[in-house]
């Protein structure tokens, strides 16, 4: 519901509203970063950079900081290839102060862990998902983590939709507040849907209608215009009776697509689908390709991108808007020949006189690769979390944080 989104953005306490000086602070960050397979080093440190304001603020206030994150999917057991050691090295370079990797923090007494660090050192706990209790959100494990600190800060929006021990469980044992990145994500994504400048448009892409059905349904009650591209458009075309060739179509979603179009019309929402598409003889970067009207997709060919007429149509609609939320690429942008549609939407938003908010995951990746991140109002660091928040769902990692009206927290340690 819109009210819930607004409450999340406005009513959770942040690190500005709690005393941290001289205290031990456990910070959940999202350092699940890409790694270079050849060198073993961090290949994209944008998620580390995003957490720096929170870490630096805590240090400036005299706090002792321990960071907690996952990396990859180790399936509850140690995996040397998924150690956070390279991440700790990169963070040390960015902070300009020592970062100590703590490999064992479950059996070791908390005082011993902190005493092993030098003055001003930042601690980084080894990959939290090396422990199977993390993803099971076992109460005993959450309590063990809580004994490391006096205050808990969640700055990992990208994992806030997961009820894990380090994202939700530990918040029940310590005063728990949002970091600056979490606050920023909730403010932009929450206010975009709760109290937007209008007209408000949502651009939705991606491969499957089923992945975005809840988002599309939620948006119809809130937006003035809904623009649909990407592979999911084929299911809408099928609902209109068009030939879609070898394109992916979700037969079980065809009726849902028809219903969405009918509902949009009833609500007075402008719903735009592509009018032309780029098709390829097969799903391959070098396959023969051409642009056709949506009703003229050749049998056996695959829709790979929106066409130039659609790019112009979408750009014209977006130019009227004061707020735009974008989630999902317009085509197979990973293949340069089929990235024009995604690039066109990105450039439209980059040049718009509007609040422009980009959902995480592949959309954020596309904007980053196009060098347009700095020209958007906000690019989310969360994929699944941003999608669930835009769908109107509550996020366990946010719900567990202290509300502003609360003055304390029951300490069960």
Q: Which residue, 37, 141, 156, is CA-closest to 400?
A: 156
- Whether 47 is catalytic: yes
Q: Which of 208, 258, 309, 337 is catalytic?
A: 208
> Scanning the structure block, which residue is given the tokens 């959450």?
142
- Whether 384 is catalytic: yes
Question: Using only C-alpha atoms, what is the Rg of the chain?
Answer: 23
Q: Are strands 276-280 and 302-306 parallel, antiparallel or unpaired?
A: antiparallel
Torsion angle, CA of 163/155/386/220, rounded to 10 degrees? 100
- Whether 158 is catalytic: no
Contacts of 47 (CB under 8 A, 6+ apart): 29, 30, 31, 32, 33, 158, 381
* Beta carbons within 10 angstroms of residue 256's beta carbon: 17
Q: Which of 12, 13, 47, 222 is catalytic?
A: 47
| β-pair partners for 225 | 201, 270
- 95 phi, psi to nearest 5 deg: -80, -30
Contact 309, 275 (CB under 8 A): yes
- Whether 120 is catalytic: no
CB-facing half-sphere around the CA of 189: CA atoms within 13 A: 33
Q: Which of 361, 382, 383, 397 is catalytic?
A: 361
Q: Which residue, 147, 144, 121, 127, is CA-closest to 64?
A: 121
Detail the DSSP E strand segments found in 246-346: 270-272, 276-280, 289-293, 302-306, 323-327
Please give the Cα distance from 377 to 356 (Å, whole number): 5
Contact 154, 160 (CB under 8 A): yes
Q: Which of 351, 375, 384, 393 is catalytic?
A: 384
Residues noted as catalytic:
47, 208, 361, 384
């Amino acid at each position: 519901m819109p009210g819930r989104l607004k409450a999340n953005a406005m009513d959770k306490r942040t690190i500005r509203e709690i005393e941290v000086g001289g205290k031990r602070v456990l910070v959940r960050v999202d350092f699940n970063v890409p790694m270079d397979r050849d060198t073993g080093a961090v290949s994209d440190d944008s998620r580390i950079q995003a957490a720096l304001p929170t870490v630096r603020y805590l240090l400036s206030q005299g706090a002792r900081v321990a960071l907690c994150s996952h990396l990859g999917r180790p399936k509850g057991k140690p995996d040397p290839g998924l150690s956070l050691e390279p991440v700790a090295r990169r963070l040390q370079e960015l902070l300009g102060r020592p970062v100590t990797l703590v490999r064992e923090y479950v059996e070791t007494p908390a005082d011993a862990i902190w005493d092993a660090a030098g003055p001003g050192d930042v601690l980084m706990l080894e990959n939290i998902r090396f422990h199977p209790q993390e993803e099971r959100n076992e109460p005993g494990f959450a309590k063990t983590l809580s004994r490391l600190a006096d205050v808990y800060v969640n700055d990992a929006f990208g994992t806030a939709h997961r009820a894990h021990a380090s994202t939700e469980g530990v918040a029940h044992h310590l005063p728990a507040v949002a970091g600056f990145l979490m606050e920023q994500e909730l403010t932009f994504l929450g206010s975009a849907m709760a109290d937007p400048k209008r007209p408000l448009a949502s651009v939705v892409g991606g491969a499957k209608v089923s992945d975005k059905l809840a988002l599309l349904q939620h948006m119809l009650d809130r937006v003035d215009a809904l623009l649909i591209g990407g592979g999911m458009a084929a299911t809408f075309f099928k609902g209109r009776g068009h030939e879609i060739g070898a394109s992916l179509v979700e037969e079980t979603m065809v009726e849902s697509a028809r219903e969405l179009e009918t509902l949009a019309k009833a609500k007075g929402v402008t719903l735009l689908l592509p009018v032309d598409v780029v098709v390829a003889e097969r799903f391959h970067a070098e396959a023969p390709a051409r642009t056709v009207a949506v009703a003229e997709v050749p049998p056996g060919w695959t829709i790979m991108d929106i066409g130039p007429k659609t790019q112009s149509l979408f750009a014209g609609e977006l130019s009227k808007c004061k707020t735009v939320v974008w989630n999902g690429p317009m085509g197979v942008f990973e293949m340069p020949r089929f990235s024009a549609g995604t690039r066109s939407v990105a450039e439209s938003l980059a040049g718009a006189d509007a609040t422009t908010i980009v959902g995480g995951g592949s959309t954020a990746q596309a904007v980053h690769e196009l060098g347009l991140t700095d020209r958007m109002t906000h690019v989310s660091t969360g994929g699944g979390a941003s999608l669930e928040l835009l769908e109107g769902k509550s996020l366990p990692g946010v719900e567990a944080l202290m509300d502003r009206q609360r003055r304390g927290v029951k300490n069960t340690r």
